[in-house]
């Protein structure tokens, strides 16, 4: 057995079954990196790129020659897939756009304006891997929101080049520039700016623990989307679910990282055993077998509940990044869920659908953050400004109440600033 099985009572007694990791040493290193980038700019970025990525760079920004070579090297089939995914993301996120609104009465107008941020930095993991989907999920919603300047940072390979798929996705999504910078140093560069990298107003995108800790440290200097942890999935399934599908979807998260969480909740013990058997079988041919195996052993779980109704308190407590419902009449349970980053309903809506194609965003709250946070979207790239306009008559009518409230708080100047406007001219 490669995944532990808990009864509901065992889960209640042992809710902290995922490993808790102390990141004190990593934070100390991140603080050092941020300070180096703040004080030494591009020199620090190039030194860290050589130290961590073994790439010796003359310039940090991707040039037109490298961009053209990347576009020529990517198969047409993949370019077509990137274009199709982009269109789906545009369509989905366009529904999130807000309209300015106004309320008014005799002598007054109050309203709200929606304004896009001027500049955003998107962090995309890279190096030996390519994540074009993350490029689309971060850059495209910002473009839909109306952000003018979107700067992308991603670590290069040892050859000093960015993965061609990442560059093609960046061009297709409309990134303003791509910089060959990874890790905490990329976050620091975007937050404070260097000779080559413009400072931005907000940083978004997934990354490793160093990226996450760096985002936490620079928050306040810039905005951030969220503090992302390892990927996670919770599946709620009844006895009618297909154990082959369930095992495949649990593995789709487990292969990300040894700290990824894959959890199945079911009232059916026979189904649980079938899933265990399928995990044992499917993992044998998985290229990232060791990672997935460690993830399932250390962070995964199958929780046996007495009935489906007992599953929802567990789901809402975990507040998973991804939640799959493999249930008869699954739609009828949607109102029981109040904490989940994204919900996938039915056997033909696997989590991978949201990762790549459906148009919903795959930058989602993790580590329980879905209790108070949401998926990345257009609203993350927009500011709201309130607008007020009163006539002298309307203000005079409200002045006594305003002054009373101000004086109750001990703020006499606030009261006077209103009352003096009632003087006859």
The catalytic site residues sit at: 321-322
- CA–CA dist 252, 148 (Å, integer): 35
Give the residue from 152, 161, 149, 243 showing the smallest Cα distance to 189. Answer: 152
Half-sphere exposure of 63 (CA within 13 A, CB side): 6
Query: Which tokens hold the place of 327?
Result: 């249930």
Tell me if residue 404 falls in helix, strand or coil: helix
For residues 117 and 357, the answer to whether their CB atoms sit within 8 Å is no
Q: Is 95 exposed, middle or buried (0-12, 13-18, 19+ CB in 10 A)?
A: exposed
Strand ranges (E), 246-367: 261-266, 301-304, 322-326, 342-345
Asked whether 211 and 183 are in contact (CB, 8 A), the reply is: yes
Q: Is 379 exposed, middle or buried (0-12, 13-18, 19+ CB in 10 A)?
A: middle
State how far the Cα of 33 lies from the Cα of 238, in Å rounded to an integer: 49
Altogether, the residues listed in the chain come to a count of: 425
Q: Is 362 in contact with 133 (CB distance < 8 Å)?
A: yes
């Amino acid at each position: 057995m490669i995944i532990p099985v808990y009864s509901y009572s065992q889960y209640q007694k042992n809710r902290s079954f995922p490993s808790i990791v102390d990141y004190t040493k990593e934070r100390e290193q991140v603080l050092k990196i941020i300070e180096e980038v703040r004080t030494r700019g591009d020199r620090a970025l190039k030194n860290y790129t050589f130290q961590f990525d073994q790439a010796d760079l003359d310039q940090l920004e991707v040039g037109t020659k490298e961009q053209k070579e990347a576009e020529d090297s990517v198969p047409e089939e993949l370019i077509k897939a990137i274009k199709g995914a982009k269109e789906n993301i545009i369509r989905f996120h366009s529904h999130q756009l807000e309209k300015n609104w106004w309320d008014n009465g005799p002598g007054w107008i109050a309203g709200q304006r929606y304004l896009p941020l001027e500049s955003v930095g998107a962090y995309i993991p890279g190096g030996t891997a390519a994540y074009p989907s993350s490029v689309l999920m971060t850059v495209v919603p910002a473009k839909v929101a109306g952000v003018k300047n979107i700067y992308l940072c991603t670590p290069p390979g040892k050859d000093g080049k960015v993965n061609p798929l990442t560059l093609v996705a960046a061009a297709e999504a409309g990134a303003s520039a791509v910089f060959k910078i990874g890790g905490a140093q990329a976050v620091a560069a975007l937050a404070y700016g260097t000779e080559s990298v413009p400072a931005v107003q907000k940083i978004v995108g997934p990354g490793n623990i160093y990226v996450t800790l760096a985002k936490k440290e620079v928050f306040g200097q810039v905005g951030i989307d969220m503090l992302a942890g390892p990927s996670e999935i919770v599946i709620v399934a009844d006895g009618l679910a297909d154990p082959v599908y369930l095992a495949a979807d649990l593995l789709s998260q487990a292969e990300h990282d040894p700290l990824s969480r894959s959890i199945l909740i079911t009232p059916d013990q026979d189904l649980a055993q079938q899933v265990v058997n399928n995990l044992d079988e499917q993992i044998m041919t998985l290229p990232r077998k060791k990672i997935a195996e460690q993830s399932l052993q250390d962070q995964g779980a199958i929780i046996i509940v007495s009935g489906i109704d007992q599953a929802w308190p567990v789901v809402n407590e975990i507040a998973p990044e991804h939640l799959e419902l493999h249930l008869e009449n699954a739609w009828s349970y949607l109102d029981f869920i109040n904490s989940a980053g994204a919900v996938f309903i039915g056997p033909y809506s696997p989590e991978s659908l949201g990762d790549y194609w459906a148009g919903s965003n795959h930058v989602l709250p993790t580590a329980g953050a879905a209790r108070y946070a949401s998926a990345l979207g257009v609203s993350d790239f927009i500011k709201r400004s309130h607008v007020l306009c009163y006539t002298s008559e309307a203000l005079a009518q409200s002045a006594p109440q305003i002054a009373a409230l101000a004086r109750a708080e001990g703020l006499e100047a606030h009261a006077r600033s209103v009352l003096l406007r009632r003087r006859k001219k």
